[in-house]
Amino acid sequence: MHSSSLAQRRARLTPEQRERLAQRLAGAHAPALQSNIPCRNASAQVPLSYAQERHWFLWQLEPLSTAYHLSGGLRLTGRLDIEALRWSFAALGRRHESLRTIFRANAEGLAEQIIEDEPRLEIPLTDFSGLPLEQARAQAGEEAGRIAGTPFDLTQGPLLRVALIRIAAEEHLLVVVMHHIISDAWSNRIVIDEFAAHYRARVQREGQGQESSLPALPIQYADYAIWQRNWLEAGEKERQLAYWRSQLGEEHPVLQLPTDHPRSSKASYRAARHTFTLPAGLATRLQRQAQSQGATLFMALLSGFQGLLYRYTGQRDIRVGVPIANRHRAEIENIVGFFVNTQVLRALMDGRMSLHTVLDQTREAALGAQTHQDLPFERLVEALQPERNLNQNPLFQVMYNHLREDYRALEQLPGLTVENHELSEQAAQFELTLDTVEQPDGRLEATFTYAAELFEPATIGRLGDHYLHLLEQLAEHPQQSLGDIDILSEAERAQLKAWGINEQRYENAEPVHKLIERQAEERSGAVALVFGDVELSYGELNRRANRLAHRLIRLGVGPEVKVGIAVERSIDMVVGLLAILKAGGAYVPLDPEYPQERLAYMAEDSAIGLLLTQSRIRSRIPHSGQHPVLELDRLDLEEESDSNPQAALHRHNLAYVIYTSGSTGKPKGV
């Protein structure tokens, strides 16, 4: 059979079927995987799984964080049997050990899973039905947010929290919250399906106390945790680690998304969300294009996201975290537990690449990742040892997740109509996460979850529009180059044009440095700059800038000569800018936090004649070696004159060159 036909058949498989196929293809390399996971000895101590270890560490670091709460709300309309609801969740707790597990350190200081004999699940009922309907709904929403936002204590539990809020006699709000250490998105579906089965069985049997006839579970999550360690340590870890080392390389760049507000030193941000729906026709055309390349809709949506990140950052090395269900073994498909693993999918982008090529690259990375999905993310980080920062996730900083949502089991609850209820904000796990969801009715929804302290809602709204435009181009013009796509909308282009119009005419206006010189003469002792505990007067600022300006002039700086300035926010930065203007030159700001490839492009494109920087960051600033480099913190200017330079300047001489963000291609100097 032709290889493209095989690829197209593979593309039509569900994610679960692709996982199983990938594992069968890898079977020759991993014979141990074919054996069943054994049940543990009842007296055995149960270690944490590798994924749980990381959450245990994060919880100890920030015990009040809600970033890893899995929460949801359901509005139940109709005649609700509260006792049947309580019975159903109790049955869930008895069936799944994870729902009655807590975590404690043993005598050696190592964390263990403690599985309680019976679920300690109370389902309180809060009653707002005595209030006017709209007020009751508002109060219920606030109460649901409080419930979801109450931190868990992993050592005390329970780590499943269920609450019921009565809004009216036949309107209730059900709130379910779990800590991620015992559950994942796949588990959420199990909880919903089995809750519905138990509730139906209880109601239809008129309270006889019989649980639904669900098949017995072959193992529990604790059995998996023990098996996982033994299997990986037997050699599988090294085999898979070799693949990931070759995929990710030695350097692990940090993605620098442009933000509206400065990043904070604190480790967490509030989460905000922007949801939009892909046009039905676009989803269909994307699916068709993906299948023609032997890819899936997931791969097409991910490649569009990677292209968007490239266009916003200018970085070629784009890494996105992608969760994978890790349920390719039959015995764990129906178990509630923290099985999901995170993989890092890398794309090396170039503006000259066609969208077709971008999707091909994403497809190959995704297929390779599927056949090497068992290495826990925590072990990958431990092996690669990227530079760690409590404020940033290691190896990737943005996340992408694609889901098929199927809550049709809830439609079969006797006497009830069920609607989803969006809970209030929680903490953001990452600066930016994109979730795409295939709904049962065929709609394709996308949600950006973002750090509210970093981005304005309007910025994320534009990000969504640009993402849709990139997907449209992938579906309709896959041979188009990534760098040639104009992702701006008509409204944005009109706004840029309006901003570019300046009809003001300033006759006999003094240059900025002349205004500073006049102020230094008239009010020499007045404070001009404050940076931390350091103050600088106008007189001292002017003298320091003059000495540097005279040195620049001796090195050839004058009218129309561009000088790159790459310094951290400091007094040196202001002195440097002022000195360049005094020498008659034009400054070119080079942010040290930009990726090196972006800085190299800006320095080369602007043709700077000299670079001002600082010794501690010089190595981060690429330069050709064909122009002088001055390190401001090591420069001895005592021999230079502190008098005002007399550069021959005209009002039409160049003052500065600022580079755009590059959202429409390469950064452009203006």
pLDDT in the model for residue 463 = 97
Q: For CA atoms 121, 127, 133, 137, give the dihedral sign.
A: negative
Residue 497 has φ and ψ, to the nearest 5°, of -65, -40
Q: Same structural domain for residues 298 and 435? A: yes
Q: Same structural domain for residues 111 and 65? A: yes
Tell me which residues of the chain have a pLDDT lower than 50: 1-12, 14-16, 19-20, 22-34, 664
Q: Same structural domain for residues 311 and 435? A: yes
The pTM of the full predicted model, rounded to 2 decimals, is 0.69
Domain boundary, last residue among 204, 222, 249: 204
Q: Residue 668 domain-assigned?
A: no
Distance CA 505, CA 630 (A): 37
Q: Same structural domain for residues 28 and 50? A: no
Nearest alpha carbon to residue 347 among 332, 358, 335, 337: 358
Distance CA 79, CA 416 (A): 6
Q: Same structural domain for residues 437 and 535? A: no
Q: What is the CATH number of the domain that holds 366?
A: 3.30.559.30
Residue 73 has φ and ψ, to the nearest 5°, of -125, 140
Q: Same structural domain for residues 323 and 471? A: yes
Asked if residues 203 and 84 have their Cβ atoms less than 8 Å apart, the reply is: yes
In the block, residue with structure tokens 């129906």: 334
| Total domains in the fold of the chain | 3
Asked if residues 347 and 315 have their Cβ atoms less than 8 Å apart, the reply is: no
Q: Same structural domain for residues 489 and 524? A: no
Which amino acid is residue 25, in one-letter code? Answer: L
Torsion region of 415: left, alpha or beta (phi above 0 gives left; psi -120 to 50 gives alpha): left
Nearest alpha carbon to residue 471 among 441, 436, 440, 496: 436
Domain boundary, last residue among 496, 522, 542: 496
Distance CA 273, CA 434 (A): 10
Q: Same structural domain for residues 183 and 60? A: yes
Distance CA 166, CA 663 (A): 49
Partners of 104 in the β-ladder: 112
Q: Which residues of 503-525 are buried (b: 16+ CB within 10 A; e: fewer)?
A: eeeeeeeebebeebbebbeeeee
Mean pLDDT, the chain, whole residue set:
88
Q: Same structural domain for residues 24 and 66? A: no
Q: Same structural domain for residues 327 and 402? A: yes
Which amino acid is residue 665, in one-letter code? Answer: G
| Domain of 599, in residue numbers | 512-634
Q: Same structural domain for residues 330 and 193? A: no
Q: Same structural domain for residues 561 and 590? A: yes
Structure tokens at 637: 């200017």
Nearest alpha carbon to residue 23 among 316, 293, 258, 329: 329
Q: What is the CATH number of the domain that holds 153?
A: 3.30.559.10
Considering just the CA atoms, what is the radius of gyration of the chain in Å?
30
Q: Residue 179 domain-assigned?
A: yes
Task: Give the β-pairing of 629-631 and 427-428.
Answer: unpaired
Distance CA 115, CA 101 (A): 4
Q: What is the CATH number of the domain that holds 582?
A: 3.40.50.980
Cβ within 8 Å of residue 138, ≥6 positions away:
none
Domain boundary, last residue among 161, 183, 204: 204
Which amino acid is residue 361, in one-letter code? Answer: Q
Structure tokens at 29: 């390399």
Q: What is the DSSP letter of 435?
A: E
DSSP E strand boundaries for 389-477: 398-404, 416-421, 427-428, 432-438, 444-451
Q: What is the DSSP letter of 171?
A: E
Asked if residues 542 and 517 have their Cβ atoms less than 8 Å apart, the reply is: yes
Q: Residue 146 domain-assigned?
A: yes
Q: Residue 653 domain-assigned?
A: no
Asked if residues 462 and 492 have their Cβ atoms less than 8 Å apart, the reply is: yes
